[in-house]
Every structure is written in C-alpha cells, then in structure tokens.
C-alpha cells in the first residue's frame, strides 16, 4: 500500500509539472493571438503559470483538510528556489545581474517575506491575515505591467529575455485545447499528490508541514530548476534570477494565502517547526540573495560559484535538520 502512495506522489509531481507547462503555453498563445503584448503575456500569464503547481496543491490540500501541506509547500518552495535552484545555477556559472527591473523586485520580495513571517508569528493564518496577501497578487502583477511598459525592452536584459523565451505561437483551437487539458490535469495531479503525500505523512508520523516543505516543495520547484539552469547555459543570468524572485513572490502571495483564505490554519502546536525550520530560514536566504545579487554603489550584482556552493550546502543541511527534527533526535 505504501508503494502506491509513493507512486502517487512521483506520478503526481511529474504530471503536475507537465500539465502546468501545457496550460501556460496554451494560455500564452491564446492571449498573443488576441493581440495582447508579448511583454504583458510574459509578465502575467507565464509568470503566474510557473507557480500553477504550487497554487493547485495549496488549493486541494486546503479543501482536503490538510492546509499545512499548502503552507509548507509555499515556505519550502522559497527555500528550495534560493538555496538549491539558485545555488546549482551559480555553481554551473556565476550569475551577474544588470536588469533594473530585477533589482526593483528584490525589495518587493524582501518586504513580502518580512510581512509573511510577521503574520505567522502568532501561530495561525486567519482569513483576515491571508486576504491581503491574495489581493497583493493583483497589485504586484499590476505593478509589474506598469514598470514593464515604462521600460524599453531592448534596454533591460530581463524584459528582453522574457519576450524572447515566450512559447511558440499556435492556433486558437490548439491553444484552447491545451488550456482545458492543462486545467483538468492540474486538478487531478494535485489531488493525487496531496492524497499520496498525506498518507505517507500519516504512516511515518511526519507532519503535513514537513512533507509539504521538503518532498512536495522540491518536486514543484523542478520547473524553476530547469528554467534557471537553461537560462544560465544560454548566458541569460537575469532569467535565472528572475524565475526565482518571481516564483517566490507568487508563492507567498498566492500559494501561502489560499489555506488561510479557504479554511484558516491553527499551527500553534507546530510553531517552532513553522518558524525555525521554514519561515526564518526563508527570510535569511532572501536577505542573503539580496546582498549577493543586488549590487551596491553602482556595482553589478553577482552570485559566484563559492556562494552557490554555500547555498547548496545550506539546503542539504536544512533537509537533514528537518528530517532529524521529525525523528525527534534534536
């Protein structure tokens, strides 16, 4: 029986990633066929689509009465994106940041991260605390579009890379087909993943929070890893960093907010794990990424191989600490 649960998790992750990609391609192509600016498509549909796996997991885990999976997935995905995805990317090739748009997003991510940590300090996530996060998605996307439209694409490496990386055009019929198939499979695969993961957690006595922040978070961060590594190999450093920053912002605003909006979470009994194993490490990594990647006094931001290696070392140490904590050895 346990083999079936692990099979559900693995197949769920694979199908979730594939269906999110198909849905995003279809939605982006359909929007472009309607005459929407490629830059707007890239900043909105493609950006939100990259977080579709986490959003559907958060939605279905909340509706299945396992909201801590959604919370853990949001926090763990941000840790994984910075420490693992960005670390591996920097170890392959040092990252350099020149995009003004990207540098403007660092403070936004830091502000949202601090805000998220503060509202978790009281041991719950209520609808009143979660709704502003969800509303923040609309405000953030609007701000992105505003900044993007005021910036000349050719003069900003990140914006240029966003337009260049848009999926190929397709007919409206094919685009709608992929939108529908993608939506259906996102729902089915996220339910498979939540069901399998919750049963594994119950069998081994692992909390839903840790399952969400480790196994599921790593699985749903695979698209960011693939996109970032591909960007680095094509000398598109801004795209690698942009994927991580944008994904982390959406994880906090859209993914973390859903359990609070839909059911509310009381995790006071698990507050130490939420804060010390997830929220505070996430905040520390965000600050570290800002220091390394922002650049000061007119200097370009950069993350070198040594810093990338330190990020990966932190990630492995964090995984080990999470496992030992669940085993009651620390």
What are the tens digits of pLDDT across the range 202-245? Answer: 888 888 899 999 989 998 888 888 878 887 887 777 777 878 88
162 — pLDDT class (breaks 50, 70, 90)? low
Specify whether the CB–CB gap between 23 and 186 falls below 8 A. yes
- What is the Cα–Cα distance from 143 to 137, expressed in whole angstroms? 10
φ/ψ region of 96 (left if φ > 0, alpha if ψ in -120 to 50, else beta) reads beta
Percent of the chain scored above 90 by pLDDT? 40
Q: What is the mean pLDDT of residues 46-72?
A: 88
Lowest mean pLDDT across 104-118, 220-234, 250-264, 308-322: 220-234
pLDDT value for 2: 77
> CB under 8 Å to 209, separation ≥6 — which residues?
68, 69, 71, 72, 267, 270, 273, 274, 278
Tens-place pLDDT, residues 61-87: 999 889 999 999 999 999 999 999 999
Average pLDDT across the chain, whole number: 85
For residue 74, what is the domain's CATH number? 1.20.1420.30
This prediction has a pTM of 0.89
pLDDT value for 282: 97
- What is the Cα–Cα distance from 319 to 325, expressed in whole angstroms? 10
Whether the pLDDT of residue 330 is over 60: the answer is: no
Instruction: Name the token pair of 243.
Output: 């994927």
* Residue span of the structural domain in which 238 resides: 2-326
pLDDT value for 304: 87
pLDDT value for 181: 92
Percent of the chain scored above 70 by pLDDT? 89
pLDDT value for 326: 80
Lowest mean pLDDT across 7-11, 48-52, 66-70: 48-52
Query: What's the total number of domains in the chain?
Result: 1
């Amino acid at each position: 029986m346990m083999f079936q649960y692990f099979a559900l998790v693995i197949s769920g992750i694979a199908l979730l990633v594939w269906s999110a990609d198909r849905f995003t391609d279809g939605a982006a192509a359909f929007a472009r066929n309607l005459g929407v600016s490629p830059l707007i498509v890239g900043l909105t549909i493609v950006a939100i689509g990259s977080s579709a796996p986490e959003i559907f997991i958060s939605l279905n885990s909340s509706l299945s009465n396992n909201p801590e999976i959604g919370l853990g997935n949001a926090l763990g995905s941000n840790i994984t994106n910075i420490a693992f995805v960005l670390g591996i990317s920097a170890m392959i090739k040092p990252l350099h940041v020149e995009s003004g748009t990207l540098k403007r997003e660092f403070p936004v991510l830091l502000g949202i991260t601090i805000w998220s940590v503060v509202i978790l300090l009281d041991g719950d996530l209520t609808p009143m605390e979660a709704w502003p996060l969800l509303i923040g998605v609309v405000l953030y996307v609007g701000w992105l579009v505003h900044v993007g439209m005021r910036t000349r694409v050719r003069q900003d490496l990140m914006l240029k890379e966003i337009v260049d990386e848009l999926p190929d055009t397709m007919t409206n019929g094919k685009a709608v087909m992929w939108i529908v198939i993608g939506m259906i499979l996102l729902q089915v695969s996220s339910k498979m993943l939540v069901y399998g993961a919750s049963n594994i957690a119950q069998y081994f006595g692992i909390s839903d929070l840790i399952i969400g922040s480790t196994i599921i978070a790593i699985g749903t961060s695979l698209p960011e890893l693939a996109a970032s590594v591909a960007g680095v190999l094509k000398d598109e450093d801004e795209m690698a960093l942009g994927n991580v920053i944008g994904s982390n912002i959406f994880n906090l605003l859209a993914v973390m907010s859903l359990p609070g909006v839909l059911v509310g979470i009381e995790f006071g009994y698990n507050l130490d794990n939420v804060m010390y194993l997830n929220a505070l490490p996430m905040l520390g990594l965000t600050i570290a990424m800002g220091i390394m990647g922002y650049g000061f006094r007119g200097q370009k931001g950069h993350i070198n191989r040594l810093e990338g290696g330190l990020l990966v070392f932190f990630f492995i140490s964090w995984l080990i600490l999470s496992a030992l904590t669940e085993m009651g050895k620390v």
